[in-house]
Amino acid sequence: MNRYLQELIPGDNVIELALSRAAASVATNTMQAVYGWVPEDVPVQTGFVGVFLDQEDQPLWARRAARYLDDEFDASGGTLLFGDVLSSLTDDGAGKCHANFRHAFELWDGSGAAPFSQKQNYGSCVDASCGTGECVLFGWRAARPEFGEVYRFASGWLKFVLRGYCSDGWNGSGCATAAKKCGCGFRRKYDIGGNNIDWTDGAANEKAVARTWCRSGIPDWLLKETLNHAYDDGAITRFQGGVKELRTALAAGGFVHTSGTRTSGGSKPFTIGSVGPHMQSAIGCDDSDEFRKFCQEVIGVKPRTDDFPVIMDQTWGSGWSGECADKYWPSWWGRKPEGAWVWWASDVVDRLSCDFVWLPRVKGFPGTTPPQPQPTLPKLAGSLYVSGNVISGVVEATTDIPQGSRFTGTPNNDGTFRLTNLVV
């Protein structure tokens, strides 16, 4: 149990209580209402704070919690800054569509939980938006043969188990630090050494992590399994830069974890709305001329110069007021993640805090090894002769002999041998 945060964060900073309070003030008892609710009849410190932001308009205890978690990540070791891994990313994504979320949808076999279906019922938006972002990573890897992986399960709630307290509220630094210790969890059945739990249902996964194991921590038997999907050094770093760096991160198959008090303001792309302290993930972008034409002709908005749309995840599921309308969703982006919305990249950078870049430097699930093609070997001509313990002769090849090739010698019954290629 993290005693400092446990004593710092008000015990009533939990979504269940906020829902009951908000119900008296709003028309619908939804998660959107909770984050948008401004308490009038109770002190500010008893209102709901989903994400700790170190900003002047936030409660002092929330600002202290944010600083504590930021310092904890900075002390976690390894590569901490996106600028230190940027040079290893060779594609800046310019002029292309990077709807990275579509890979998980296309590779999902229809069983188990659908990708991006993780809806926040009470646990932290930080862990929820991280889990949906991780679907991007594993789908992107499975779509590339060089990794030899398959897409098997939707990513789920996990990082919450290392918070050390069960009140709500967290931030991107806390989530990143936890991920470096516990790896990834999935919406699946776990049955290991007589221990089992079924996280196929998102609510069951969320309840175990956000309302039970947040006190006791992750069980050792499960930690050993989740660390099979541990992040490499440099996979999770603090974002540095502007719209170009944001595009580079998304072009590399990553997602960007953002925080702030802004979100979509309507069903039409690029509208600006307000929200309580909240985390959302950037899960794709489109810098293509095809979208610029679509933007002008279908959305009715003039494309911005040196800008591009960013597809954002929402932790509230479908049906909230800022979800992108189907008519404004380009067909080549594929299936729309539940609750997704769209902003210009410049607005994402200027109006939100792009806290962390998560790159697909994490192992997924191995697929079957494809058959290896037979090598093309040279044609050989010539003979070898045996004299005592010495083999001599001349062999000619019509092409270069591949380095490491092996051959067998077949007796001709006259003291000579014929060479034939040996494929290993």
Quickly state the pLDDT bin for 113 (edges 50, 70, 90).
Answer: very high
Task: Please name every residue paired with 420 in a beta bridge, in sequence order, or none if there are none.
Answer: 408
Domain enclosing residue 386, as ranges = 380-422
- Do 257 and 131 belong together in one domain? yes
The structural domain count of the chain equals 2
Q: Looking at the predicted structure, is the pLDDT value of residue 90 above 80?
A: yes
- Do 316 and 415 belong together in one domain? no
Asked if residue 33 is part of any domain, the answer here is no
Q: In this structure, what token pair is assigned to residue 85?
A: 């891994």
Q: Which residues of 139-176 are buried (b: 16+ CB within 10 A; e: fewer)?
A: bbbbbeeebebebbbbbbbbbbbbbbbbbbbbbbbbbb
How large is the average pLDDT for residues 119-134?
A: 88
Predicted pLDDT at 214: 87
Asked if residue 372 is part of any domain, the answer here is no
Asked if residue 57 is part of any domain, the answer here is no
246 against 318, higher pLDDT: 246
Q: How far apart are CA 367 and CA 108, in angstroms?
A: 14
Predicted pLDDT at 16: 80
Asked if residue 4 is part of any domain, the answer here is no
Q: Looking at the predicted structure, is the pLDDT value of residue 174 above 80?
A: yes
Predicted confidence (pLDDT) per residue in 55-80, tens digit: 998 989 999 999 999 999 999 999 99
232 against 20, higher pLDDT: 232
Q: In this structure, what token pair is assigned to residue 171?
A: 């931030």
Which of these ranges, 28-37, 99-108, 260-269, 281-290, has the smallest mean pLDDT?
A: 28-37
Asked if residue 244 is part of any domain, the answer here is yes
Asked if residue 207 is part of any domain, the answer here is yes
378 against 53, higher pLDDT: 53
Predicted pLDDT at 265: 93
- Do 140 and 208 belong together in one domain? yes
> Collapsing DSSP states into helix, strand and coil, what is residue 1?
coil
Predicted pLDDT at 44: 40
Q: What angle do CA 160, 185, 241 make, to 5 degrees?
A: 70
Quickly state the pLDDT bin for 22 (edges 50, 70, 90).
Answer: low
Predicted pLDDT at 376: 65
Quickly state the pLDDT bin for 41 (edges 50, 70, 90).
Answer: very low
* Cα→Cα distances 110→115, 119, 143, 151, 153, Å: 10, 18, 16, 11, 10
Quickly state the pLDDT bin for 48 (edges 50, 70, 90).
Answer: confident
Edge-to-edge strand list for the sheet holding 390-397: 390-397, 380-387, 416-422, 406-411
β-pairing, 272-286 with 97-98?
A: antiparallel
Picking from 32, 3, 8, the residue whose alpha carbon sits closest to that of residue 19 is 32
CATH number of 233's domain: 3.90.70.10
Predicted pLDDT at 398: 65
Quickly state the pLDDT bin for 335 (edges 50, 70, 90).
Answer: very high
Alpha helices in 84-164 (DSSP H): 102-107, 125-142
Predicted pLDDT at 385: 72
Do the beta carbons of residue 258 and residue 282 sit within 8 Å? Answer: yes
Predicted confidence (pLDDT) per residue in 145-164, tens digit: 999 999 999 999 999 999 88
- Do 185 and 298 belong together in one domain? yes
Of 366, 388, 405, the residue at which a domain comes to its end is 366
Alpha helices in 166-276 (DSSP H): 172-182, 202-211, 213-216, 220-226, 243-251
Asked if residue 409 is part of any domain, the answer here is yes
Which of these ranges, 2-16, 290-304, 400-414, has the smallest mean pLDDT?
A: 400-414
Residue type, 269: P
Query: Backbone phi, then psi, for 303, in 5-degree steps?
Result: -60, 145
- Do 322 and 199 belong together in one domain? yes
Predicted pLDDT at 27: 45
- Do 387 and 293 belong together in one domain? no
- Do 262 and 303 belong together in one domain? yes
3-12, 325-334, 362-371, range with greatest mean pLDDT: 325-334
Predicted pLDDT at 373: 66
Q: Looking at the predicted structure, is the pLDDT value of residue 334 above 90?
A: yes
How large is the average pLDDT for residues 381-388?
A: 73
- Do 127 and 219 belong together in one domain? yes
Which of these ranges, 38-47, 286-295, 353-362, has the smallest mean pLDDT?
A: 38-47
- Do 392 and 269 belong together in one domain? no
Predicted pLDDT at 378: 65
- Do 360 and 388 belong together in one domain? no
No. of helices (H) and no. of strands (E), the chain: 13, 15
- Do 123 and 258 belong together in one domain? yes
Which of these ranges, 83-92, 281-290, 404-413, has the smallest mean pLDDT?
A: 404-413
Average pLDDT score, the chain: 87
How large is the average pLDDT for residues 317-326?
A: 91
Do the beta carbons of residue 155 and residue 186 sit within 8 Å? Answer: yes
Which of these ranges, 38-42, 78-82, 268-272, has the smallest mean pLDDT?
A: 38-42
410 against 71, higher pLDDT: 71
Q: How far apart are CA 166 and CA 2, in angstroms?
A: 10
Asked if residue 48 is part of any domain, the answer here is no
- Do 175 and 302 belong together in one domain? yes
**Sign of dihedral through CA atoms 7, 13, 15, 16?**
positive
Q: What is the DSSP letter of 155?
A: B
Predicted pLDDT at 374: 66
